[in-house]
Amino acid sequence: MESILIHPENAEQLKTVKAVLRALKVQFEPQSTVLPNNVVKSIEKSLKQYEDGQTISLQEFTERHFSTK
């Protein structure tokens, strides 16, 4: 049988999906996503850079990192 992965957008959707699965007697395994500490720190650093205005456009990024010069 095929398995599916569901991505609810909020707590209400998750609650509803679980209720439907229970009503249909479909087995499911809740799993939470836990990011490694280094990933969380990197995200926090990036958000701080964004808040401080330390950003560049996609075009500038492409020119800096993908130029064939």
Domain limits of the chain? Answer: 33-69
What digits encode the pLDDT tens for the residues 17-62?
999 999 999 999 988 888 999 999 999 999 999 999 999 999 999 9
Tokens of 17: 């999906």
pLDDT score for 17: 97
Per-residue pLDDT band at 69 (split at 50, 70, 90): low
CB contact burial 30-53 (16+ within 10 A = b; e otherwise): eeeeeeeeeeeeeeeeeeeeeeee
